[in-house]
Each structure stands twice: as structure tokens, then as C-alpha cells.
Amino acid sequence: MSAADAAAAGLDARRIDLRINGRLIVDGVDCTVAAGTFSALIGPNGAGKSTLLRVLAAVDRPEAGTVRFGPDDLFALSRRQRARLVGFVEQDSGTELSLSVREVVALGRIPHQGFFGDATAEDHTVIESALDAADVRALAERDVTTLSGGERQRVLLARALAQQPRLLVLDEPSNHLDIAAQLAVLGLLRSLASSGVTVLAALHDLNLASAYCDHVIVLRNGVVFAAGPTAEIITPRLVRAVYGVRATVLEHPQTGRPMVAFGPLA
Amino acid sequence: MSRATRSILLGVALAALLLISVTFAITIGPAHITPVDVWGSVLHHLGFGHSPLSLLRDGIVWQLRLPRVLTAAAVGAGLALSGAVMQALTRNPLADPYLLGLSSGASLGAVAVLLLGVAILLPLAAFLGAILALGLTLLLASSLGRITPSRTVLAGIAVSSLAAAVTSLVIFWTVTGDSYREILGWLLGSLAGARWPAVGIGFAAILIAGLPIILSGRILDAFAFGDTAATSLGINVPGARWTLLAATALLTGAMVSVSGSIGFVGLILPHAIRLLVGPRHRPLLPLSAIVGAIFLIWADTAARSLFDPRELPVGIVTAIIGAPVFALLLTRRRSAT
């Protein structure tokens, strides 16, 4: 593979193992996310999605396996280099500190700054454009502890964007949000992917995954059950096999994308 | 005015207030001494000119009041800094520098050497006691699984209770007459015995542990959203946590060794500064240190002069001021959440 191919290759994880308290949670997972695409990681509760995401976001080191992004082995890089390459948005993350929204977004500049953390003109430019990109400029002076769930999620996304990551990993970014906020966040991720960022998000809602994602990776019991283009993966057979639920897959009347209608439990 | 500008102005004003506090606190007491006398004496001892005071009164300034006020400043600054760090690392704005068993461990060490009659080893014993208690706390917390803030706090409570019980047992079995008062004074927190060696210990601890902490503001900021977020911002979380905890143990142990355990300074002051300049640690840490110094200088001045000639342990003064403020902060928090 030439250097150019590698640079275009996006996220490439091979044979990832991770144990928690002796139990194998992630078992030999291979997965890829092409550069500049938006992929969903789906699967039932307890499948190991969050554990796998922490490895793919280079937060937790796996026991075995490699995680590459483009030409780089993520765990061979320094912590700061990694943090400039990969942004991670946790599920339900919060703080007790009454930081302003702009101060929270400024935290994303830490991996780009020296020990004394003096903000340069470039830092300010990046912070302002992250505020715009995540649509939180109107909240910039607000106290982050007073925001609604949807607002806070967008602020944390802006913090990750201030890292100027090439890879963005998110754990259930639409959790606990109302439908408008869910669509806003996923629309934002979609447009980030279009602008060249590689995006991987764990999602519970198969319809949201179908509507917004290029590819889907299905995790069950710590192994990849299926992976591929959304329309090929989201099928009645798969929903039945993975979730034990009967479903019909329709075509969305406006977008033409797959749409899942669930039958009652047998 | 932006938070940054306000922090700088506040820093300059507080530094001036600290200098004024040192000067005026020295003038207070039974022997009449003016601020001009204070500086005359200090300059004389630094090799400039003659002291305006008689030998006896010059001794009161240089041998008694100045070292006591400087020790109060160092201890106040150290405790406030420790408090701010503990609050950041445990992600609990109401955490205390004594939370992880530091104070009870130090007290046990100190009481043990006082009773063995080797008071000269007191600072070392208090420091070792603090480190041992911290080690025990972290060992206990990690044996419960991954070290989390809440586990650390619970383990700290267990270790504190144990050390306090052993201290009580030792006192109960062995203390008689005179040493009782000495030990009680120390347990309640007192600067009555602070002379130049105490100043040396206090300022050495500020230099060795306090300054690195003050410079770590940006790292502590990264912990605002927890360990995972700090990791994804490129921070070496275990490394930063252990280094900062060790620095805090050193700072607290040194302060406890010269003053006994003085409560509420580390708990209240960083919280109050946060209300003024926000929670970012780069302004918070230095400002907490300065305000801690000013606060403890005046608390100790009150402790030694309010009921003159009897002296109160300064820990009682800080508790009488601190407990109601703490209660007020708790109710504010309830209305905020």
C-alpha cells in the first residue's frame, strides 16, 4: 500500500481484544471506517460497543491488536499527537464546574498548546469556528452546567472539534435528546464527514443510523456480526438475528433511505 | 470586564493586601509596635540600617511575631492550594485537603513522637504519617477496583477514622498532665509555637510542591469532564493524578507538621475564589494561595489576641468562621442543582 492509499484509508483496527475484570468484552474485532465517511456502530446492550469505542478513540489501550488511522499506529504516537488526531465525545459526560461554553470548547486546544497553555490567535480562530460548526455560538457565554442535554451534547462536540481531529468517535451522541436535537446532532456529524472528518458513532436507533450513516458495523457479544454499506446491512434478517425482533425494512418516502418498522415481540 | 482581566486585577490587589496584612498583623499584640517599626526591624535584620526598636521589642518582631505571621501565610497558602487540587482531582467542589486521611495520619505521627519525647522529629513524623495514610487510602481504593473519585473519598474516610481512633487510644493510655495541653493544642491546630524553622518548612514546601501545582492549572482544567475526557485531550491521567496527589500530600503534610490540622481553609477558600473568577485553574490556584495566606494571618491574629492573654487554637477560629460559610455554600449548591 502506498503512502497516499494509507492516508486515504481512514480508521483500520485489527484483531482487537479487551478484557474487563477477566471477561473478554471485545473479542478479536476487525473494523474499518473509510476516511471522510460516517459509520454507525450498532448492537444490543452489553455487546461491547462502548468498550470498543474507547479503544478506537485511542483512550484505552487494547490487550491485543492494532488501531491505525491513515499511516499512523495510534498507540505508537505520543499522547498529544493522538489527541490532535482523534476527538472523543463520551456518553452523558458532565462537569460540576461552572465553566462558560467558550471555556469548555477552549479545553479542546490543550493538545495543541504548550505547558503554560497560552492561547494564540490561531487557538481563538479555531475555538470560534468550532462554536459555529456545532451551532453553539449563541450559548458561548452561558454556564455549561445550566444547559439542556441537547445543548451540552453540541458543546462537547464543539470541544472535540476544537482539537481539529481527523477522526471523531462518539458514544451514543443522540442519547436522551429530543427528536429535533437528535436530527441536529446527526446532521452535523453528516456534514463533518462530508468535509473530510472520519466519523464513527455508537447509535441505538436503527432508523437514525439508516438515515445518516454511510456504513454500519454490527457488534454482538464482543464480535463483529456484520459490517458494510447501510442498505445492505439493515435487513429484517439481521434485525431478527441480532436483536431477536421482527422488523420490516421500508424505503423512506422522502429520502429513499432504509427505514425500519418493528413488529410486536412474538 | 472579562474573567481574565478581572483575575489579573484581583491578583495585584490581593498581593498588595497580603503585604499590608503581614505588616499590620505584626503590629497587633500587647507590645506596642507600629508598621514603620516593623519594616525598620525587618530591614535591619536584612542588613539595612538600624532597628528603631529596643532589643526586647525588636526580638518580639523578629523572633516571635514575624515568623508566626509568615508561617500562617505559608500554611494558609498551602492548605488552600491543596484544597483546590483535591477538589479538581476528586471532581468534588466541596472536597478537603484532609479528605484522604492526610490530616489524621499526620496527627497520629505527631502525637506518637510527642509522647515518645522526641518533639524535634515532629515535622518528619507528621509528614510520614500523612504519606502513609495517603498510601493506605489509595491502596484501599484500588483494592475496591479501578480508582474512582468516590472510592478514594470513601477509603479516605475509613483511613481517617482508623488513624483518629489510634491517636485517641494513644492519648488515652499515655497522656498525663502537661503534655495533654500541648497535644490538644496541636490536634486543634495552632501556630503558637511557630518560629523560623517553621517558616523554613512552610516556604520550602510551597517552593517544592506548591509552585509545581500552581503551574499545573491547565492540566487540572482538563480533568473538568473526568478522566476519560482528560485522556482524550492528551493528558497522562495516571501520571498527572499521582504526581499531583504526591505534591498535595507533601504540601499538606508539611503544613500539618508546623501547625497541626487547621480545618476549613482548604475547603472554603478555593470555592469562594471560584465564585469571583470562575473555575479555571490558572487564575484559581495562585489566587487561592494568596487569599489562603491572608485569611490564615488574620485568623491566627484573632486567635492570639481576642482573649489575650489566653490564646485560642487557630483551628477553632477557622472552624467558627468556616462551618457557617460551608453550610451557606451547601445551600447555594442545592438551589443551583
pLDDT at residue number B1: 63
- Chain A nearest C-alpha distance from B147 (Å): 14
Domain membership of residue B115 as a residue range: 3-336
User: Model ipTM?
Assistant: 0.91
Average pLDDT over every residue of A188-203: 95
pLDDT at residue number A215: 96
| Chain B, nearest residue to A105 by Cα | B222
pLDDT at residue number B152: 79
pLDDT at residue number A42: 96
Which residues have a Cβ under 8 Å from the Cβ of B256 and sit 6 or more positions away? B102, B103, B106, B107, B110, B126, B127, B130
**Within 10 A of B173 (CB to CB), how many other CB atoms are there?**
8
Chain B residues with CB under 8 Å of A141 CB are none
Which residues have a Cβ under 8 Å from the Cβ of A64 and sit 6 or more positions away? A15, A16, A17
The number of domains in chain B is 1
Report how far Cα B102 is from the mean position of its chain's Cα atoms.
12
- Chain B nearest C-alpha distance from A172 (Å): 15
Contact B224 A116 (CB under 8 A): no
Chain B residues with CB under 8 Å of A97 CB are 93, 224, 274, 279
* Confidence label for B337 from pLDDT (cuts 50, 70 and 90): very low
A107 → closest Cβ in B92, B233, B278:
B233
Average pLDDT over every residue of A232-252: 93
pTM, entire model: 0.88
pLDDT at residue number B333: 61
Average pLDDT, chain B: 87
Lowest pLDDT segment from A73-77, A195-199, B303-307: B303-307
- Chain B nearest C-alpha distance from A150 (Å): 17
Average pLDDT over every residue of B184-205: 88
- Chain B nearest C-alpha distance from A224 (Å): 25
- Is the pLDDT score of A170 beyond 80? yes
Report how far Cα A43 is from the mean position of its chain's Cα atoms.
15
- Is the pLDDT score of B167 beyond 70? yes
Average pLDDT over every residue of B221-247: 91
DSSP secondary structure, chain A, as one string = --HHHHHHT-EEEEEEEEEETTEEEEEEEEEEE-TT-EEEEE--TTSSHHHHHHHHTTSS--SEEEEEETTEEGGGS-HHHHHHHEEEE-TT---SS--BHHHHHHHTTGGGS-TT-PPPHHHHHHHHHHHHHTT-GGGTTSBGGGS-HHHHHHHHHHHHHHT--SEEEEESTTTT--HHHHHHHHHHHHHHHHTT-EEEEE-S-HHHHHHH-SEEEEEETTEEEEEEEHHHH--HHHHHHHH---EEEEE-TTT--EEEEEPPP-
Interface of B with A in 212-271 (CB under 8 A): 215, 217-218, 221-222, 224-226, 228-229, 231-236
Q: What is the pLDDT of residues B171-180, one digit of tens each?
A: 887 766 666 7
Average pLDDT, chain A: 91
Task: Give the type of residue at A244.
Answer: G
Chain A residues with CB under 8 Å of B221 CB are 107, 110, 117
pLDDT at residue number B329: 76
Lowest pLDDT segment from A198-207, B142-151, B284-293: B142-151
Task: Let me know: does B263 contact B295? Beta carbons within 8 Å.
Answer: no
pLDDT at residue number B147: 66
pLDDT at residue number B310: 85
Q: Would you kindly state where each structural domain of chain A is located, as residue ranges?
A: 3-262
Question: Which CATH number fits the domain A3-262, given the four candidates 3.40.50.300, 3.30.565.10, 2.130.10.10, 3.40.640.10?
Answer: 3.40.50.300
Measured between alpha carbons, how far is A217 from A198 in angstroms, rounded to an integer?
A: 14
Contact B224 A97 (CB under 8 A): yes
Higher pLDDT, B122 or A174: A174
CA-closest candidate to residue A71, choices A164, A9, A163: A9
- Is the pLDDT score of B250 beyond 70? yes
- Is the pLDDT score of B336 beyond 60? no
**What is the DSSP-derived secondary structure letter of residue B94?**
T
* Portion of chain B with pLDDT greater than 90, in percent: 44
**Interface probe, candidates A79, A88, A97, chain B, greatest B C-beta count within 10 A:** A97
pLDDT at residue number B199: 95
- Chain A nearest C-alpha distance from B3 (Å): 10
